[in-house]
Amino acid sequence: MSPSYRWVIVAAGGLLGCIAMGAMFSLPVFLRPMARDTGWSVTGISAAMTIAFLAMGVASLGWGGLSDRYGTRPVVLGGSMVLAGSLAIASQASSLGEFQCAFGLLVGGATAAIFAPMMACVTGWFDTRRSLAVSLVSAGMGMAPMTMAPLAGWLVEAHGWRTAMLAIAGIVAALMIPASLLVRRPPALEAGPVGEALGAGPVDMTVHQAVRSRPFILLMAANFFCCATHSGPIFHTVSYAMTCGIPTIAAVSIYSVEGLAGMFGRLGFGLAGDRFGAHRLLVLGLLAQALAVLAYVSVSRLGGFYAVASVTGFIYAGTMPLYAVLIRENFPLGMMGTLIGASAMAGSLGMSTGPLLGGWIYDRLGSYAPMYVGSAGLGLVAMLILLAFRPFPGRGDALARAG
């Protein structure tokens, strides 16, 4: 297959990620309308997102392993079908418990079929410009706040949350299933056992050895605390803006501004990662992220929200693809799906902390400020963990220079 097809893989991954993540992350837009319509608590609805992240984390490892064994296309195709059906079921939930199961377990588990398998697939297609490639896929995911979130907001205001969520289920089926059919295995893996050994790290390393290695454990821990840092701010900032008196559509636009900044962040960090090294850039990004989320405490007007959201979105979105790059630089290609899936599991577990804790803090204290302060502290922990990361001797740096 033509080497230029690798850019088709990037485009397909970006579209799949945009729709899948947009569908899942539309819940913040639904949060207050659902609470008003159903009488369910903000904490209870937020818990559905926490459950979704937990399900996403557990499923990421399974989907990643399946993609290593059977290829990426059947995994993302199956996940797309399940995601569409799950959203349709969630839209008809008659109780909070039903909604938490449908949206939390099913939507979260199905969304996991996209991120880790597609990231693993893309890293296998690129030996050069790898940071840029995975950042472009991530940029597609970052378009969700600018596309799916405003669409969800308009649908909710025009037709109510149930019809809006059902419409999003239809969009998922119409766009993601055809895009899944464009995905192909990396050429190196088509070579069989020889291709499967390509990559960094000791050539005889097993998956069991990889996941127990110090470099991978540190990457997992850093990813967990990194995602815990921005999960609360991502989920609750729209609601926080509404408590400051900002109208719904204007508040949702903050989410869109954050997403637009995130696109530039992914591209900027991707180009810089290829030039200066993913590890160095990620450490600096984690420090900047901690300071950025703390700034939310000082804003209450729309202009201030836009400014902080721009900076925060640029930074956190830019850092996330670099974990996949570091894994690719340090471990064999044939286990990328499993390892990136495991890393995504750690990130999803971190993401699961923000929605529930943020809702709990607001319900009891009537303020989101303590959530932002705590998030900043978690960001500093992530930076310190990553400072301790070291690649396998003589392998990671060499591959980074070659890539």
Q: What is the pLDDT of residues 59-78, one digit of tens each?
A: 887 888 888 888 889 999 99
Tell me the C-alpha distance between 21 and 142, whole Å: 8
User: Residue 324 — very low, low, confident or very high, per pLDDT cuts 50/70/90?
Assistant: confident
**Angular region, 160: left φ>0, alpha ψ -120 to 50, beta rest:** left
Question: What are the DSSP calls for 291-353, one per residue?
Answer: HHHHGGGG--SHHHHHHHHHHHHHHHHHHTHHHHHHHHHHSBGGGHHHHHHHHHHHHHHHHTH
Task: Spell out where 148-293 has E strands.
Answer: none
Tell me the C-alpha distance between 345 and 357, whole Å: 19
Tell me the C-alpha distance between 388 and 403, whole Å: 23
The residue ranges of every structural domain in the chain are: 5-187+198-392+394-398
129 class by beta-carbon count within 10 Å (0-12 exposed, 13-18 middle, 19+ buried): middle
Q: What is the pLDDT of residue 193?
A: 46
Q: What is the pLDDT of residue 351?
A: 82
Q: Kindly state the DSSP code that residue 197 receives in the 8-state scheme.
A: T
Beta-bridged to residue 332, according to DSSP, are 199
pTM here is 0.69
Percent of the chain with pLDDT over 70: 91
The number of beta carbons lying within 10 Å of the beta carbon of residue 112 is 31
**Angular region, 192: left φ>0, alpha ψ -120 to 50, beta rest:** left
Tell me the C-alpha distance between 322 and 277, whole Å: 9
What's the chain's average pLDDT?
83
Paired tokens of 103: 């949206």
Question: What are the DSSP calls for 211-233, one per residue?
Answer: HHSHHHHHHHHHHHHHHHHHHHH
Of the listed ranges 20-24, 57-61, 389-393, the one predicted with least confidence = 389-393
Topology of the domain comprising 5-187+198-392+394-398: Growth Hormone; Chain: A; (1.20.1250)
User: Residue 395 — very low, low, confident or very high, per pLDDT cuts 50/70/90?
Assistant: low
Of the listed ranges 21-25, 291-295, 301-305, 308-312, the one predicted with least confidence = 21-25
- Higher model confidence: residue 183 or residue 185? 183
